[in-house]
Amino acid sequence: MYGLPITPAPNRRSTVPPRPVRAAATVALPLAALAALTACGDTGGLRGAGPTPTAMSPDKLWPGLPPVSSPAFVVGEVNTEVIKGIAVPGDNIRKVDPVAIVRKEITSNPGDYGSGSPYHETSRRMTDCDEGAGKGRCPVLQPYYRDLTGDGRDDLTLGFRQLPGKLTAVRVYTVDKHRLMQVMAWEDAMSGVELAGRSVIIRSPSEVAGYEYRLQWTWDPQQKAMLLTHDEMLRTGPRKKTPTPTPSPSVSPSSSLSASGR
C-alpha cells in the first residue's frame, strides 16, 4: 500500500578533536581502584557482551540509471483549497462552525455524498448535527484547535465519519488572507489520530498481523500546505486473541431463586 524510499545517511566526520592520552590515563586510575573494590563481591569475573556488529555503509544500486526530475504519478502531495462561502469572522477560525464546513464539502461533492453514492449515510446523518459537532449521532467529530502553521493563530483539525463504511475523513484548515483554506485532506480506516507539534499523525491498521501504518503530515511554509513527510509500517506486537469463553458451572433452579432473593 505504501512504499518507503531508503535514503542513504550522509557520512559526517566528527569535528571533536581526540582526547589527550594523559586525560585517559588520569581517568583510568580511579576506575581501576573502583573495580578492585567492587570485585570483592563478584566471583564471576568480567563477561563479554558479544561481538560488536560491524557498521555497513549503504550500497548504491544501478548507478547507470538515468536521473529523473518529475514523478511518474500525480498523487497530490500539495492539497490546498479555498473554501468558498464560509466566512471567518475576525480571522478567528474558532468562530467558524465545523458542521457548516462539512455541509459545504457534502454539497460540493454530490458524487460522494448524494443519493446512492458511497457515503450517502453521512449526508443523511447531518440532520443529527443541530447540537453541534461531536454530539449524539452527528458524523462530525469533536474539532481540535492548535497552531500548526507557526503563525501564532489556531488552526482547525476536523474529522468526520464517511458512512455507512468505516472510513474517517481528516481535514486541516487555516486562515489565509481572510479566507478559510484547507491545507490537508485524508481518508482511511483509522486506529488513531494525533497532533504532535506542527504535525498530524494518523495510524491505520495493516493487513499484516502485528503491524500498522503510521503517516505524518507536517506544515511546509514554502508550499503553504501540510506535506506527507513520513510514511511508515511499524510493528505493534501480536494481535490479542479473543479469549475463548469457558462454560460456567450449572446452577440449579433452587439456588438461582435463592441467590436472587425471590
Per residue in 188-243, pLDDT (tens digit) is 999 999 999 999 999 999 999 999 999 999 999 999 999 999 999 999 976 555 55
What pLDDT, on the 0 to 100 scale, is given for residue 250?
40
Could you tell me if residue 244 is inside a domain? no
**Higher-confidence residue: 69 or 255?**
69
What pLDDT, on the 0 to 100 scale, is given for residue 50?
77
CA dist list (Å): 129 to 100, 134, 145, 165, 225: 10, 8, 20, 19, 29
What pLDDT, on the 0 to 100 scale, is given for residue 10?
41
What pLDDT, on the 0 to 100 scale, is given for residue 225?
96
Could you tell me if residue 258 is inside a domain? no
Q: pLDDT at residue 8 above 50? A: no
Place of cell 500548526: 148
The mean-pLDDT minimum among 33-47, 56-70, 202-216, 247-261 falls in: 247-261
Q: pLDDT at residue 27 above 70? A: no
What pLDDT, on the 0 to 100 scale, is given for residue 3?
46
Domain count, the chain: 1
**Residue range 49-60: average pLDDT?**
84
Could you tell me if residue 63 is inside a domain? no
Per residue in 101-120, pLDDT (tens digit) is 999 999 999 999 999 999 99
Query: First-to-last CA distance in the chain?
Result: 60
**Residue range 241-253: average pLDDT?**
48
| pTM attached to this predicted model | 0.69
Furthest-apart CA pair in the chain: how many Å? 90
Could you tell me if residue 185 is inside a domain? yes
Could you tell me if residue 13 is inside a domain? no
Q: C-alpha angle 222/153/169, rounded to 5°? A: 75
Range of 183's domain? 81-235
**Residue range 68-90: average pLDDT?**
87
